[in-house]
Structure 1
Amino acid sequence: MQLSATAANEGRVRVYRGVTVIDGTGAARFSADVAIERARIVGIRRQGDVGTIETQPGTSEVDAAGLVLAPGFIAESGGALSGVTCVAGPGVAGPVNVLDAGWGAGAPGVGHIPASRSTSGVSPPEVHTLERAVHLLSGATAALLGLDLGDAPRCVIREGAIADLVLFDPRTVDPADLPGTLRAVETLVSGIPVVADGALTAAEPGRMLQPPPPAHRATVPRIEHDIDPDADPFVLHAGTPVIADDDLAGTADLLRGWLGTEASAATAPAITLRVDASLGGPEVFRITVAANGVEVAGATAEGVFRGATTLRQLCAPENAIGTRLPAGTWSGAPAFGWRGVMLDVARHFRPVDDVRRLIDLLGAHHLNVLHLHLTDDQGWRYEVPGYPRLTEVGAVRTATQLGHGADATVQPGRHEGFYTASELRELVAYAAERFVTLVPEVELPGHVQAAQAAYPELGNTDVSDPASGPWERFGLNHRTLAPTQAALDFGFAAIDALCGIFESEWIGIGGDEVSTQEWAASAAAQDRMLQLGLTSVHEVQPWFTRAFVAHVRSHGRTALAWDEVLEGEVPEGVRLLAWRGPVAMSEALRRGIPVIACPDLEAYLDYPQADSVDEPIRVGPPLPIERAYTLRVPDGAVGGQANVWTEHLPTRDRVDFAMFPRLSAIAERLWLGGEPAPFDDFARRLPVHLRRLAAAGVRYRPLDGPRPDQRRPGVPGKPLTLAQRTAIVDELVAGLRR
């Protein structure tokens, strides 16, 4: 396996060679090479396994033959253990730091877990095998405190687990004296050596390994709550009834599925769903929990759904059954009506099942818009009556760019896919049941090579060769629709098809990154401009925009367009997506145009999540989760959304990696609105939410960096600094500055 060069150079990679491993599960010991990278165990190679652990310069290698590697122990009452994980939580007197009766007893800040909370039930003189002792002293106590759950498991030794480990010489340990005489050679807490060569290092052991708050205090987005600690809780059983009127039957069925409850007699303490119009706006909800039942009330059916979604979050992420919900109330209402995600399915097609799954994840985050980017140079993904070659030719690409920048290559391989009209209608209905609106987008008059590959006559044929297929490259493509009636009719037909399938008020017409190069070079385009009374090539796109907006309005809908249309006069009946930062946003607000905030520096989830070579195919500036949490939607905007461009996201797992958990942070900002609160509060709730994502099968990016299987070493990118990208965007909006 290949380790990270970056982490090795930072001194954050350790490899133990020939060590004896004793796992916190009580399993039999085995010999292996074990690799630790940052705070995680990233590789285990047993003797006889295929493959080796290849080290990088800067890796700390330990010849551990004859030594034992075990999970970091958690101190128990009166404990004299040397390799002690930092913990704080219910019943813990204070932070338990690296502790040994001979070194650290009585040191400031040292505490212990009271004997009443010990799970071992073992007195020190009792004799155990080392395996059994490790199991009792690490795994069981960790489970009691919830430290075995979260972003990565603790107190086991397996790939992906957090590196809380102790290395010791078993020849110095008498099992009859456990746990009192264990002497650590080395101890790692979250991967940081806090004991080395048998002495304290005084190293900071990463963040405190404080158990995250219980689920009912860790909602994402954050929901206001008032808990009565003195009242009896409600206990969720498999037979807990969910009662609702017929008009809420869909949400009731979904809630039963989320909670894992089965139909039973309504005499048991029940969960009741009801509409209470007096609560206020359409998405307002209130959850009331008491020992004799739970009520989920919403101002509308949509509000009830938001409440039901929150109720699922109050329960244990892995299995809701058995959850003890404290008595109290949870209530919420969103700051904005548009809380969305744009998914680009044109560059890399995502099957219907993937879209359905994403709809579920949006609903779970109180997001209510899924904007589907259905066409681009690289692919056309829906049927248009009268234009069959759009899906026969425009939906099939025979090669795809690999990487980005000057060193990018083109990799042969067929990529294809499109949605039938019936599949899209099914998705619309599926989303509506979860109160998510599907908003379609067709790109016009630029980003049209896939369409022109099917129908070359739509292009400026006197200056460009016919396209042989959808574009295999990524970037700015100069192909555009010719300013002809045939091109207008094609655009109208594409819009008609969307209006016939989607129920959304908004129909996207694109409008971003439209080059004027072909219009300037085309004699036919120049003649047509004269006929239309257009005096500049910069007036051609506004001409298209006016025509397409009018056609959308003829269907009783509103056109959705990217903020480049601000370069000309924007006709009435347009809602804008402001991606070019505060300048474009301010200009749209100044003109009184409804606008959605999706600034690239905070909301483009294809950007890398750190400034590290370990991030796969870095394109653009780093956008860590902390920056995503700074998204602010200005007063007067209708809402915001995250944008997920998929040039370098060819699989569902890659989309997961790019979106989560950054989308969770953006979802909270769109729900709460206003100025961003300190990130620490969100970070405190995030470990529980990562468990929710894991339970949903989401392959998110770990907080401490991508796992080895999530990297793409050797595939070039084109990283930018934040300052470089800011300068590029400033140049793009120079014409809007006043």
Structure 2
Amino acid sequence: MKFFIPILAVLLCLQLSSSAQYPNPSIIPQPQEMKVGKVTDNFTIVNNSTLVFISDSSLRPSAEFFINFIKKYYYLDLKLTTIADANRRNVINLFRENAAIESTNPEKYHLDVLSKSISIRSNSATGVFYGIQTLIQLLPPSAKPVPLQIRAVNIIDYPRFAYRGMHLDVSRHFFDVSFVKKYIDYLAMHKLNYFHWHLTDDHGWRIEIKKHPRLTTVGAWRDGSIIGLYPGKGNDGISHGGYYTQAEVKEVIKYAAERYITIIPEIEMPGHSMAVLAAYPELSTTPKLPKKVAETWGIFNKFNNVLLPSEQTFSFLEEVLTEVMALFPSPYVHIGGDECSKIWWKQSAFSQQLIKEKGLKDENGLQSYFIHRIEKFVNSKGKTIIGWDEILDGGLAPNAIVMSWRGEKGGIAAAKQKHKVIMTPENFMYFNHSQFLKDDSLTAARYLPLADVYNYDPVPPILTPAEAKYIWGAQGNLWTEYITNPAKVDYMLFPRLDALSEVLWSPKSKRNFPNFKERLQQQLKRYDMMQIKYSKRYSL
């Protein structure tokens, strides 16, 4: 008995040491099912470990993504091959199973980690890519441990929602192609699959349109921006602008596609159009008055003119959308539709006459007419429109998808009308608001802590099960009035992006905020390794 207690103590110490060295995986978003194996079954990655993608070239982007990640952050070189060998050790196998097999979710994957091999399998290349993202989170969140030990696990995983989106406003402040690519990598890391690219607004037009060059020579630049929080302390008088050439847009689209992310371009109409009207004032309700690209934030009826619903305007928009739709393979085009200052139509003789001619009730009816016209054109090109929830005003276009931002009311109304809905209510999904009450950094003047994002559920309980099926998913939005550089984007995005990813991917029954915060600690170490400048005061 005298010897038993010291031996027991030694064994306990060894067990605790092993637990400290090989903690349970902290994966975000949390998988559907995960079983943790024995430490003795851990897998080791060393130089010249082999990654195999078997019999399917569509898996090459996933294989190369992982190899490049390992090389960049862990300084190890892996071998890539398409030749399977049952006797090979230290091998990571990527399988695309029979694609003809029906699956309830094409994004589903299986991940198995054993001592001699890792396997990731799915019946789609997309599912394999998500398996790679989970495998990355099984790596130590530091470049120091070499060889790399990966905990033995068995994971079966798939997302809760089909639409998992994140938005970036590049109109208020322009971000170059290299950062947009990095932003897309952030989304891929969190298993998001839609990038909403807010390319136009009052404050700048950001995409080259060859048929209408003044959109970028004039509309892409403003003469200054207000200083500080609205209404501001004067104007900085600094020219700001930039735009993406069509070649650059194609480059970004290709980059996103390799990460299984669909880019949805947004071309704002009929409001939020001051950049357009600065370039082409004849499309406004006051064509003889000169216009400027907006230099202050917000919507002000006195200054924010709107597009005149004339045949000239519709012809212009069709030409713009034709070029945009030719660039973007996405089946969806976002046409805005929000915050249209209808006072301009009320004061416009042409607009009032059109209301009478078309038998419309009022200016809301005129907006509905406008959106219906655009939808008919977009549909004729085989695409579907998405709009902010104001497109419900005056009557919803027949095939439109509603993005509900003014709370959930618009989304609920659209779901009851059997339209797809993307929930993005400002009080839960706008990441330009402060993460804590006293923020020394300039932000939009609201408060959105991490817990509120995490605890949000996109499916309103008021909907019946049949109506709830129209909730396609949700999206976080990042408006950039007060976000002027990439480091500030990181600061506002993280770690709320982690919370969003778990809301959209993981089962609702598994959501647990204290547990999420525990798992988040490993993720923050990974961000340190990747030099992502997240907000370190998120929990206050």
Instruction: Give the corresponding residue for 1:3.
Output: none
Instruction: Give the corresponding residue for 2:480.
Output: 646
Report the AA paired with residue 369 of structure 2: W
Give, in angstroms, the shift of residue 388 of structure 1. 0.6
CA contact (8 A) 1:259 1:321 kept: no
Instruction: Give the corresponding residue for 1:347.
Output: 172
CA distance in 1: counterparts of 2:40 and 2:280, whole angstroms? 70
Are 1:475 and 2:298 an aligned pair? Answer: yes
Instruction: Give the corresponding residue for 1:218.
Output: 26
Are 1:569 and 2:395 an aligned pair? Answer: yes
Q: Secondary structure at the match of 1:465?
A: coil
Give, in angstroms, the shift of residue 401 of structure 1. 1.6
Report the AA paired with residue 376 of structure 2: A
Q: TM-score, normalization: structure 2?
A: 0.88
Shift in alpha-carbon separation, 1:602–1:117, aligned structure 2, 3 A: closer
CA distance in 2: counterparts of 1:217 and 1:695, whole angstroms? 17
Which of 239, 263, 270 matches 2:91? Answer: 270
CA distance in 2: counterparts of 1:346 and 1:417, whole angstroms? 9
Instruction: Give the corresponding residue for 1:86.
Output: none
Are 1:310 and 2:134 an aligned pair? Answer: yes
Are 1:597 and 2:408 an aligned pair? Answer: no
Give, in angstroms, the shift of residue 470 of structure 1. 0.8
Alpha-carbon displacement from aligned partner over 1:29-74 (angstroms, at most 9, x marks no partner): xxxxxxxxxxxxxxxxxxxxxxxxxxxxxxxxxxxxxxxxxxxxxx
Q: Secondary structure at the match of 2:226?
A: strand
Are 1:252 and 2:63 an aligned pair? Answer: yes
Shift in alpha-carbon separation, 1:525–1:428, aligned structure 2, 3 A: same
CA distance in 2: counterparts of 1:487 and 1:503, whole angstroms? 25
CA contact (8 A) 1:602 1:630 kept: no
Report the AA paired with residue 470 of structure 1: V
Shift in alpha-carbon separation, 1:558–1:117, aligned structure 2, 3 A: closer
Instruction: Give the corresponding residue for 1:519.
Output: 345
Shift in alpha-carbon separation, 1:321–1:591, aligned structure 2, 3 A: farther
CA distance in 2: counterparts of 1:558 and 1:301, whole angstroms? 25
Which of 359, 363, 367 matches 1:533? Answer: 359
Shift in alpha-carbon separation, 1:704–1:600, aligned structure 2, 3 A: closer
CA distance in 1: counterparts of 2:96 and 2:150, whole angstroms? 22
Shift in alpha-carbon separation, 1:482–1:217, aligned structure 2, 3 A: same
Give, in angstroms, the shift of residue 304 of structure 1. 0.4
Give, in angstroms, the shift of residue 115 of structure 1. 11
Are 1:492 and 2:318 an aligned pair? Answer: yes
Instruction: Give the corresponding residue for 1:129.
Output: none
Instruction: Give the corresponding residue for 2:462.
Output: none
Which of 374, 381, 384 matches 1:555? Answer: 381
CA contact (8 A) 2:25 2:151 kept: no
CA distance in 1: counterparts of 2:318 and 2:286, whole angstroms? 21
Which moves more between the two structures, 256-265 or 569-578? 256-265
Give, in angstroms, the shift of residue 263 of structure 1. 4.2
Are 1:700 and 2:534 an aligned pair? Answer: yes
CA distance in 1: counterparts of 2:450 and 2:480, whole angstroms? 19
CA distance in 2: counterparts of 1:633 and 1:116, whole angstroms? 42
Give, in angstroms, the shift of residue 407 of structure 1. 4.5
Report the AA paired with residue 559 of structure 1: I
Report the AA paired with residue 28 of structure 2: V
Matching of residues 651-670 of structure 1 within 5 Å: 651-670=485-504
Give, in angstroms, the shift of residue 217 of structure 1. 1.4
Report the AA paired with residue 219 of structure 1: I
Shift in alpha-carbon separation, 1:279–1:550, aligned structure 2, 3 A: closer
Report the AA paired with residue 404 of structure 1: L
Which moves more between the two structures, 692-701 or 502-511? 692-701
Report the AA paired with residue 236 of structure 1: I
CA distance in 2: counterparts of 1:704 and 1:566, whole angstroms? 36
CA contact (8 A) 2:495 2:538 kept: no
Structure 1: gaps of 5 or more residues: 1-89, 94-113, 119-143, 147-212, 707-738
CA distance in 2: counterparts of 1:664 and 1:315, whole angstroms? 17
CA distance in 2: counterparts of 1:315 and 1:297, whole angstroms? 19
Shift in alpha-carbon separation, 1:566–1:270, aligned structure 2, 3 A: same
Q: Secondary structure at the match of 1:621?
A: strand
Alpha-carbon displacement from aligned partner over 1:456-503 (angstroms, at most 9, x marks no partner): 1010116x8321x31001001431001211111111122111101000
Shift in alpha-carbon separation, 1:547–1:704, aligned structure 2, 3 A: closer
Matching of residues 382-401 of structure 1 within 5 Å: 382-401=207-226
Shift in alpha-carbon separation, 1:547–1:288, aligned structure 2, 3 A: same
Shift in alpha-carbon separation, 1:511–1:435, aligned structure 2, 3 A: same
Aligned residues: 502
Give, in angstroms, the shift of residue 117 of structure 1. 9.0
Instruction: Give the corresponding residue for 2:51.
Output: 242
Bigger radius of gyration, 1 or 2? 1
Report the AA paired with residue 473 of structure 1: T
Alpha-carbon displacement from aligned partner over 1:399-436 (angstroms, at most 9, x marks no partner): 01222234443211111110111111111111011001
Give, in angstroms, the shift of residue 674 of structure 1. 2.9
Instruction: Give the corresponding residue for 1:442.
Output: 267
Instruction: Give the corresponding residue for 1:687.
Output: 521
CA distance in 1: counterparts of 2:255 and 2:108, whole angstroms? 22
Higher helix residue share: 2
CA distance in 2: counterparts of 1:364 and 1:570, whole angstroms? 35
Instruction: Give the corresponding residue for 2:434.
Output: 608
Q: Secondary structure at the match of 2:207?
A: coil
Q: Secondary structure at the match of 2:457?
A: coil
Give, in angstroms, the shift of residue 671 of structure 1. 0.3
What's the C-alpha RMSD, in Å, of the aligned pairs? 2.4
Alpha-carbon displacement from aligned partner over 1:591-610 (angstroms, at most 9, x marks no partner): 11100011111110001111
Are 1:674 and 2:508 an aligned pair? Answer: yes
Instruction: Give the corresponding residue for 1:506.
Output: 332
Instruction: Give the corresponding residue for 2:110.
Output: 286
CA distance in 2: counterparts of 1:312 and 1:627, whole angstroms? 27
Shift in alpha-carbon separation, 1:350–1:406, aligned structure 2, 3 A: closer
Give, in angstroms, the shift of residue 91 of structure 1. 9.5
CA distance in 2: counterparts of 1:482 and 1:515, whole angstroms? 12
Give, in angstroms, the shift of residue 230 of structure 1. 6.2
CA distance in 2: counterparts of 1:390 and 1:327, whole angstroms? 55
CA distance in 2: counterparts of 1:511 and 1:575, whole angstroms? 12
Shift in alpha-carbon separation, 1:549–1:408, aligned structure 2, 3 A: farther
CA contact (8 A) 1:508 1:561 kept: yes
Shift in alpha-carbon separation, 1:433–1:410, aligned structure 2, 3 A: same
Give, in angstroms, the shift of residue 92 of structure 1. 13
Q: TM-score, normalization: structure 1?
A: 0.65
Q: Secondary structure at the match of 1:638?
A: strand
Alpha-carbon displacement from aligned partner over 1:333-380 (angstroms, at most 9, x marks no partner): 001111010111111111000110111111110001100011000000
Structure 2: gaps of 5 or more residues: 1-8, 460-467
Give, in angstroms, the shift of residue 251 of structure 1. 1.1
Alpha-carbon displacement from aligned partner over 1:125-181 (angstroms, at most 9, x marks no partner): xxxxxxxxxxxxxxxxxxx968xxxxxxxxxxxxxxxxxxxxxxxxxxxxxxxxxxx
Give, in angstroms, the shift of residue 439 of structure 1. 0.5
Give, in angstroms, the shift of residue 572 of structure 1. 1.6
Q: Secondary structure at the match of 1:339?
A: strand
